[in-house]
Amino acid sequence: MKKAIYLIIALLIVVQFIPAYLPEVSYDNPKDMLTNNPNITDDVKMILKNSCYNCHSNETNYPWYARVIPISFLVSHDIKDGREELNFSHWENYKKIEKAGILDDISGSVSNGEMPKKIYTLIHRNASLSDAEKKIIVNWADEFAESLFE
Amino acid sequence: MKNLLVVFAISALSLLILSFTGTNNQTIATNPGNDVSFEIPDDVQAIINNSCYVCHSDESSSTTSKMKLNFDKLPEMKVGKQVGKLIKISNAVKEGAMPKENFIEKYPDKKLSIEDSNKLTSWAEELANKLGGE
């Protein structure tokens, strides 16, 4: 039994020498939503940056343990999925009708507590949203969607 | 001299008319969708009634499904919401995420045929584009 535990630990150490693949980080995103929509208010901006941008933009802030195998597999998978679903860094590439769909997704998933994901807020405690913050995001998303068609 | 005056008057008048029609066009362009009504043709309505309505209508007992999409409320929603819902309907049907698998297992007759799913998605996309003014 003891031997088996040592073996697993040894294996985990060896495996760390394989470079962990994590989706790339970029802070230079000319199509970013916040950069291109300066009228988005500071409270909304703060919440988006704090609770959404880590998975839904290119500005991912990886903690040190995100590079540790096998945690890196989970992180890499989730970030890839998150960016595919919605990437605020590519906002201006979306068609207007797609933006409306995404904003309805944001509004719905934040109001029913689906987003931010439980597994994420469990570790990133300060990313979880209070009821007041949820309301700010839902109102903003709904209004922003209407403003696209005015 | 008189001829020149006439030419001048005509060109001024046409410029004036042109500028009016110009602004007119612009107002239409900045207010897309305002004159487009939310319409569901009968054949599409039949598909919705058969395959979507059980969960996504006033009659649904599932609050979650109803919150996400309620076909009875859709016509009264604001244009931004309508467009958003329509594009999501199209995406969900295209991806095969809707109607849900466990629902189809229970009610196999509610499964969308390829023809019906095409009809539904093209309706949703076309209306989204029309409402969005594109």
A109 pLDDT above the threshold of 50: yes
pLDDT confidence band for A43 (50 / 70 / 90): very high
Instruction: Tell me B98's DSSP state.
Output: S
Mean pLDDT to the nearest integer, A5-24:
85
Q: Give chain B's mean pLDDT.
A: 81
Instruction: Supply φ then ψ for residue B53, to 5 degrees.
Output: -60, -35
Mean pLDDT to the nearest integer, B110-125:
95
Q: What's the confidence (pLDDT) of residue A1?
A: 77
Q: Give chain A's mean pLDDT.
A: 93
Structure tokens at A27: 């802070």
For every residue of B33-47, DSSP letters joined together read TTT------HHHHHH
| A112 touching B (Cβ < 8 Å) | yes
Residue, of B28 and A6, whose pLDDT is higher: A6
B79-94 helix and B114-131 helix, angle to the nearest 10 degrees? 160
Q: pLDDT tens, B36-65?
A: 788 899 999 999 999 999 999 999 988 899
Instruction: Tell me the HSE value of A22 on the side-chain side, using a 13 A CA sphere.
Output: 23
Q: How far apart are CA A111 and CA A142, in angstroms?
A: 12
Interface test with B, best of A84, A96, A107 (most B CBs within 10 A): A96
Contact B80 A103 (CB under 8 A): yes
- Helical H segments across A16-130, by residue range: 33-36, 42-51, 71-85, 96-111, 118-123
Residue, of A66 and B3, whose pLDDT is higher: A66
A34 pLDDT above the threshold of 70: yes
Contact B81 A145 (CB under 8 A): yes
Residue, of A91 and A73, whose pLDDT is higher: A91
Interface test with B, best of A99, A149, A150 (most B CBs within 10 A): A149
**Nearest CB to A101 within list B78, B88, B134:** B88
Looking at the 3D structure of chain A, how many domains does it have? Answer: 1
Contact B129 A146 (CB under 8 A): no
> How far A94 CA sits from the closest chain B CA (Å)?
13
Q: Is the ipTM of this complex over 0.85?
A: no
Q: What's the confidence (pLDDT) of residue B133?
A: 82
A12 pLDDT above the threshold of 90: no
Structure tokens at B27: 């107002």
Closest CA to B57 of B74, B70, B75: B70
Q: What's the confidence (pLDDT) of residue A24?
A: 93
> How far B115 CA sits from the closest chain A CA (Å)?
24
Amino acid letter, residue B57? S
Residue, of B134 and A111, whose pLDDT is higher: A111
Contacts of A102 in chain B (CB under 8 A): 84
Q: CA separation (Å) from A39 to A86, A91, B14, B96?
A: 21, 15, 40, 37
pLDDT confidence band for A68 (50 / 70 / 90): confident
A63 pLDDT above the threshold of 60: yes
Element housing B12 (H / E):
helix B2-30
What is the percent of chain B where pLDDT is above 70? 73
Enumerate residues 8 to 67 of chain A having a beta carbon within 8 A of any beta carbon in chain B. none
Instruction: Supply φ then ψ for residue A61, to 5 degrees.
Output: -110, 95
Element housing A146 (H / E):
helix A131-147
A105 pLDDT above the threshold of 90: yes
A51 pLDDT above the threshold of 70: yes
pLDDT confidence band for B32 (50 / 70 / 90): very low
Provide the domain limits for residue A75. 2-147
Residue with tokens 């994901």: A117
Nearest-Cα residue of chain B relative to residue A147: B80
Residue with tokens 């979650």: B64
Element housing B84 (H / E):
helix B79-94
| A145 touching B (Cβ < 8 Å) | yes
Contact A100 B87 (CB under 8 A): yes
Mean pLDDT to the nearest integer, A96-120:
96
